[in-house]
Amino acid sequence: MAPLAGILTDESESSLTKAYAANALGRIGEPAALAALAASVNTNDEMVRRQVAIALGRIDREEAIPDLIRLQDDKSPEVAEVASQALAGWEKKLNRKLVKRKPALEK
């Protein structure tokens, strides 16, 4: 898992490679994966942030919630929507409101 985590912070890696690494970490779902994804929440690359949000939403650990809340307010509507959907799933699972979510984008 360490090689995947390293890809996310390696400036020489392409955005696509970083997005694939985030996807793989989300599917693995280990605590170390969560830390690596959390470290990438503030990346400048929208595609990578979106994949990080998807990956965090896949990880069944409450520790993902604060980063999902942060991503819900992302400047990219696509990233914010993915994070909002993941948070809605957590609210259903926990049977309580976590945050005031923005309305879903109309399609």
Q: What is the pLDDT of residues 14-37, one digit of tens each?
A: 999 999 999 999 998 887 788 889
Look up the pTM and report it.
Answer: 0.84
Question: Which one, of 90, 20, 27, lies nearest residue 40 by Cα?
Answer: 20
2-94 placed in CATH 1.25.10.10 = yes
- Give the pLDDT score at 100: 63
How many angstroms separate the CA atoms of 24 and 44, rounded?
A: 20
pLDDT at 98: 79
Residue of 54, 62, 66, 49 whose CA lies nearest to 27 = 54
DSSP symbols for 27-48? HH--HHHHHHHHTTTT-S-HHH
Q: Which residues, given as ranges, of the chain have pLDDT below 70?
A: 1, 99-107
**Any idea where the domains of the chain sit in the sequence?**
2-94
Please give the backbone phi and psi of residue 25, each rounded to the nearest 5 degrees, phi first.
-65, -40
Q: Cβ atoms within 10 A of the Cβ of 25, count? A: 28
